[in-house]
Amino acid sequence: TSQHFNPIQQGIMSDSIFRLSESRTVKVHPVVLLSVLDHFTRRKENQRRVIGALLGVVTDDVVEIRNSFPVPHTEDKEVAVDMQNLFELHKKVNPNEVYVGWYSTGLTINQQSVMIHNYFDRQMDSSPIHLCVDTDLSDGNMDIRAFESSPLGAVDGSSMERSIGFHFKPLPVAVSTFQSGALGLAELSRSKSDDSALRKLNGETSGTKFAIQELQKRLAVAQQYVDDVLAGKVVPDKKTGRMLMDVVSSIPPMSTVEGGKRFNNTLQDILMIGYLSNLTRAQLALSERLQFGVLPQ
Amino acid sequence: LVLFDRTMASSSSSASVSSASAGSSSHVGAVQLEGLAMLKIVKHCKESLPDLVTGQLLGLDVDSRLEVTNCFPFPNREDDENSEDTGAEYQLEMMRCMREVNVDNNTVGWYQSAYLGSYVNESMVETQFNYQQNLKKSVVIVFDPVLSTDSHLSLKAFRLTDQFMTLFSGRKFTAEALKEAQVDFSKIFEEVPIEVHNAHLCRALLFELESEQYLGAQVEPNLDLPATSVLEKNLEFLIEYGDHLSADHSKLQYHQRALHRQRVQQSRWVQQRKAENALRRRDGKPELSEVPDPNQFEKVSPASYLKPMLNTNQLNTYCEQVKDFVGESTTKLYLMQSLSS
């Protein structure tokens, strides 16, 4: 009998049956997601879905997925995987990343998934995480779901564990942008709305320009809200009002003499250093010209 | 700094499949960087701070564009005897695994992390030279994790100019060689603009991430005044390199003086010979040659201009960084002033 588990239904069941077990949170790095999608885009003609291994770190109840690599596999009756090589290679670069689970594209969990999951379970110390990325874009969304498996059914006293199946329990997923992820993700997010899918990597000033534009937008929203409240269109909310007041008062006063002096000093320092560096550059350029003009023999 | 030398570059070129447009010109108009490759570079460099690391870039070259579709990091080299072999092995194995999952496994360059812009040194130039010799269109991508902030990624792609390549292949950096090749410090590198490219599925992912569930993935635009420590460090480097440059300068001067001394010695020797010959002519003895024997005087090796040139380039880079920093800080300062009034 094919054991096809609908994770949603099982999720509902899990709340009543397994309430005592703590569920872990899963944090996924954006690199991992992009690499999964890349693997899926490059799959062979006849493959319905692709799988790969997940690497990362496990702390108390948070599993952080930092890296991944694709695993070539065939999915007929048997499932064949070959991943030792890549794992060794990855270990050389990041020695503290260990197996934390495996990923697959598409939301179906079937017999093969169970086999693969058990295979990973044998490789790892802790229980593996199964990450599903919905590349078919069902419901118009790209869902990212993580599951943990636990066997259903009675466990005999004998050495053979007889289970009627495996229950994949969904876990909460968060996309973490710790440290390294944030930079790249910001840059990528800016390019997502471009139709041509291409975007120049701009210099520093455009980053500032973008930030200022964001600030303007938010100020406009805040101002709109205040106007609406004054005009009586919107019911005033005490919390929002207090937050706005906090924001406004947190701007250091520059109009006073003290503030003005600070501003001028900082400005002068910065401008002076800018002048010095420009002077250095001019000097370098000049010396280059001289060198080629007057070369003693 | 991890360095993979000539054996690495040559083994990578033999492992890679030659691209279709091998015969076309070696001009690279732009580098098209996949989002995946960019995030991987950022992640590897940031996680390995304070070490500086390198890695390989994979992709395709299409007309005048260099597409970088994937990359993988190099492990830190241990100091054992067979480190070169293990490095080459690692690379070959990695390429083979990549090929199995249909990743483009043509090497198109390498990447390097830099510390506040100090990336111009001989090893980097040498490595890039080797890469560019074997693969006409390779680039080096320099990522500076220290200088990058939330609002700006300091990611640059460089190639060596053709003039510099010809100069470097001669391995002679005397003054005449420089004049002939018409290379000065600003013409060592040419910067290639980078464009970020995302497959459509990835853009769907990015839109998804912006939805309510993943609020943690939002990145707030950052308008903080940049820390003065960046400026201080830059100034420190500027001073240090100014020192290097003056040291080089004095070395060159010393060399000039040595050359001059040798010439004076030679002319004096010729004078003596002339006087002797005049005497001999009078006495009717055979004359001695007046041509100085070059082996008689100690050799003064010609000064190499490579190091001063690289130092100058680095100094210039620091100045540019300071300039960028100054521009951005003044903008933010004025913004703050207008907000508070």
Task: Please report the pLDDT score of residue B305 as a whole number.
Answer: 72
Option in A30, A211, A288 nearest B221 (CB): A211
Task: Please report the pLDDT score of residue B292 as a whole number.
Answer: 62
Task: Please report the pLDDT score of residue A2 as a whole number.
Answer: 39
Strands in A165-171's sheet, in edge-to-edge order, are A165-171, A144-152, A129-133, A98-105, A51-59, A62-71, A25-28, A173-175
The average confidence (pLDDT) of chain B is 72
**Least confident window among A70-79, B44-53, B129-138:** A70-79
Give the integer Cα–Cα distance in Å for B189 and B212: 45
Query: B322 or B153: which carries more pLDDT confidence?
Result: B322
Give the integer Cα–Cα distance in Å for B303 and B252: 7
Give the integer Cα–Cα distance in Å for B209 and B129: 41
Residue B180 confidence (pLDDT) above 80: no
In which band, very low, low, confident or very high, does the pLDDT at A97 lie, cut at 50, 70 and 90?
confident
Query: B32 or B117: which carries more pLDDT confidence?
Result: B32
How far A177 CA lies from chain B's nearest CA (Å)?
Answer: 6
Task: Please report the pLDDT score of residue B216 as a whole number.
Answer: 46
**Coil/strand/helix, residue A5:** coil
**Least confident window among A115-124, A202-211, B59-68, B323-332:** A202-211
Task: Please report the pLDDT score of residue B234 as a whole number.
Answer: 73
CB pairs below 8 Å between A and B: how many?
Answer: 252
pLDDT tens digits, one per residue of A64-90: 888 888 877 766 545 556 677 777 777
Task: Please report the pLDDT score of residue A294 as a whole number.
Answer: 55
Task: Please report the pLDDT score of residue A160 as a whole number.
Answer: 45
* Interstrand relation of A198-200 and A79-81 (parallel, antiparallel or unpaired): unpaired
Query: B183 or A202: which carries more pLDDT confidence?
Result: B183
- Of B190, B188, B192, the C-alpha closest to B313 is B188
Option in A86, A135, A281 nearest B319 (CB): A281
Residue B139 confidence (pLDDT) above 80: yes
Residue B70 confidence (pLDDT) above 80: yes
Instruction: Give the count of beta carbons closer than 10 Å to the beta carbon of residue A248.
Output: 10
In which band, very low, low, confident or very high, does the pLDDT at A18 lie, cut at 50, 70 and 90?
very low
Give the integer Cα–Cα distance in Å for B161 and B120: 14
Question: Is the Cβ–Cβ distance between B293 and B266 less than 8 Å?
Answer: no
Give the integer Cα–Cα distance in Å for B223 and B245: 36
Alpha carbons within 13 angstroms on the beta-carbon side of residue A9 total: 4
**Least confident window among A26-30, B184-188, B236-240, B294-298:** B294-298
pLDDT tens digits, one per residue of B7-16: 344 444 333 3
Most trustworthy range by pLDDT among B54-58, B196-200, B259-263: B54-58
- Of A38, A213, A199, the C-alpha closest to A133 is A38
| A41 touches B: beta carbon within 8 Å | yes
Task: Please report the pLDDT score of residue A212 as a whole number.
Answer: 74
Residue B150 confidence (pLDDT) above 60: no
Dihedral sign computed on CA atoms, order B269, B271, B276, B280 = positive
Query: B20 or A186: which carries more pLDDT confidence?
Result: A186
Q: What single DSSP character describes residue A48?
A: S
How far B286 CA lies from chain A's nearest CA (Å)?
Answer: 35
Question: Is the Cβ–Cβ distance between A19 and B24 less than 8 Å?
Answer: no
pLDDT tens digits, one per residue of B297-338: 666 666 667 777 777 777 777 777 777 777 777 777 777 777
Residue A5 confidence (pLDDT) above 50: no
The average confidence (pLDDT) of chain A is 70
- Cβ B326–A38 below 8 Å, yes or no? no
Residue A144 confidence (pLDDT) above 60: yes
| A212 touches B: beta carbon within 8 Å | yes
Most trustworthy range by pLDDT among A162-166, A224-228, B75-79, B203-207: A224-228
**Least confident window among B43-47, B103-107, B179-183, B238-242:** B179-183
Task: Please report the pLDDT score of residue A255 as a whole number.
Answer: 60
Residue A107 confidence (pLDDT) above 80: no
- Cβ A184–B103 below 8 Å, yes or no? no
Query: A140 or A61: which carries more pLDDT confidence?
Result: A61
**CA nearest to A213 within chain B:** B221
Task: Please report the pLDDT score of residue B173 as a whole number.
Answer: 67
Residue B51 confidence (pLDDT) above 70: yes
Residue A179 confidence (pLDDT) above 80: no
* Interstrand relation of B65-73 and B139-143 (parallel, antiparallel or unpaired): unpaired
Question: Is the Cβ–Cβ distance between B337 and A263 less than 8 Å?
Answer: yes
Query: B296 or B165: which carries more pLDDT confidence?
Result: B165
- Chain A window 95-134: which residues touch B at a Cβ cutoff of 8 Å? none
Q: Averaged over A207-228, what is the pLDDT?
A: 78
- Contacts with B20 (C-beta within 8 Å, 6 or more apart), sequence order: none
Give the integer Cα–Cα distance in Å for A123 and A83: 11
pTM for the predicted model, two decimal places: 0.73
Q: For testing the chain B interface, which of A284, A290, A295 should be mutated: the one with the most B CBs within 10 Å?
A: A284
In which band, very low, low, confident or very high, does the pLDDT at A183 lie, cut at 50, 70 and 90?
low
